[in-house]
């Protein structure tokens, strides 16, 4: 690998134009459905929800496409001042019926005030499909594949994708991985227009009788602002560390347990340096032995762990909950 992931991360973190702001809601989906910013915890269904130990993303939400779903709180954007927003997540679709939903926000009854993100619609070309219906005024917006108004072909199964949907004033942007696939003006949607008081916000389920989502979802975030292009790319770069490391043959998973950062079984003799940074980039821990990490306690929060293994560099975000 030509560049250190740590160098990339620190460059992104401290460059004022690329520093991503704190989300207003963040579900890491690392073994539970807890939200780590404002206690907007999700509620999993009694069946069909499990936790995959994925070699690329680590622990992530697994939904079975039959009964698995996660219900989020009805109020996410708490301030009327939240006229802009960014919604991001990672998803890996396992295939199946058309019109599954990665997530749906809002309501469909008695009036449609909603948005949804669908990996494959039931139209002729079976495209990825994002829809907004903004009530008062009545506005309907569909964003579909390369034949329509989205520069993106169909979603491949069993592949991780990063997705970002950005609303800013009267415009929308949609990113898939590191590619801006939709940029459109004159789109009159705000968070308040898709968040009625009785909103039904869910991961893995439609507002209608469509099939449930079959696949994995990870790191679901909602921001109270429109992230810049550079900030979106920074999130994508952060999240691709696991994909790069898998290609390089390095398979190491970190996870939080009771204030400690644990890791999956691994040949510890390969590690020449391990470090832990706060989300603001402050160095909190460094050692040439990864085993030293087991005895260090950390406060609840989000951390970046970096490991050097020969000429390879590994970086992983870890969430420690209360």
User: How much is the pLDDT for 277?
Assistant: 86
User: How much is the pLDDT for 5?
Assistant: 42
Taking a C-beta distance cutoff of 8 angstroms, is the pair 304, 277 a contact? Answer: yes
Structural domains of the chain, with CATH: 21-226 (2.60.120.200), 241-320 (2.60.40)
User: How much is the pLDDT for 7?
Assistant: 41
pLDDT exceeds cutoff 60 at 248: no
In the chain, the percentage of residues whose pLDDT exceeds 90 is 53
Q: How far apart are CA 212 and CA 191, in angstroms?
A: 24
pLDDT band at 221 (very low <50, low <70, confident <90, very high): very high
Q: Please give the mean pLDDT across all residues of the chain.
A: 86
> DSSP for 24-68?
SEEE--SSS---SSS----EE-SSSEEEEEETTTEEEEEEESSS-
pLDDT band at 150 (very low <50, low <70, confident <90, very high): very high
User: How much is the pLDDT for 47?
Assistant: 97
Q: How far apart are CA 290 and CA 168, in angstroms?
A: 43
User: How much is the pLDDT for 134?
Assistant: 86
Beta-carbon contacts of 294 under 8 Å, excluding residues fewer than 6 positions away, are 260, 262
User: How much is the pLDDT for 241?
Assistant: 63
User: What is the tens place of the pLDDT at every residue in 73-123?
Assistant: 999 998 887 889 999 999 999 999 999 999 999 999 888 999 999 999 999
pTM of the model: 0.76
């Amino acid at each position: 690998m030509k560049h250190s992931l740590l160098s990339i991360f620190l460059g992104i973190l401290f460059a004022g134009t690329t520093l991503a702001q704190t989300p207003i809601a963040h579900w890491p989906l690392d073994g539970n459905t807890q939200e780590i910013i404002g206690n907007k915890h999700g509620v999993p269904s009694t069946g069909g929800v499990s936790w995959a130990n994925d070699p690329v993303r680590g622990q992530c939400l697994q939904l079975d496409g039959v009964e698995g779903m996660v219900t989020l709180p009805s109020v996410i954007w708490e301030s009327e001042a939240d006229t802009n927003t960014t919604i991001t997540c990672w998803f890996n679709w396992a295939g199946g019926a058309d019109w599954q939903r990665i997530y749906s926000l809002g309501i469909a009854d008695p009036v449609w005030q909603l948005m949804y993100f669908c990996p494959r619609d039931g139209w002729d070309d079976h495209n990825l499909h994002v829809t907004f219906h903004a009530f008062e005024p009545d506005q309907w917006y569909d964003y579909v594949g390369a034949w329509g108004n989205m520069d993106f072909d169909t979603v491949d199964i069993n592949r991780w994708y990063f997705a970002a949907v950005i609303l800013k004033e009267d415009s929308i942007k949609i990113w898939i991985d590191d590619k801006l696939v939709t940029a459109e003006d004159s789109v009159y949607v705000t968070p308040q227009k898709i968040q009625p008081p009785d909103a039904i916000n869910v991961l893995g389920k439609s507002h209608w009788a469509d099939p449930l989502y079959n696949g994995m979802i990870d790191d679901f975030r909602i921001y109270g602002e429109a992230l810049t292009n550079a900030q979106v790319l920074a999130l994508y770069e952060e999240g691709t560390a696991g994909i790069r490391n898998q290609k390089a043959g390095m398979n190491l998973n970190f996870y939080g347990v009771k204030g400690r950062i644990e890791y999956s079984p691994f040949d510890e003799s390969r590690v020449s340096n391990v470090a832990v940074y706060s989300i603001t980039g402050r160095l909190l821990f460094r050692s040439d032995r990864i085993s030293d990490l087991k005895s260090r306690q950390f406060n609840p929060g989000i951390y970046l762990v970096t490991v050097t293994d020969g000429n390879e560099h590994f970086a992983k975000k870890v969430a420690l909950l209360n």
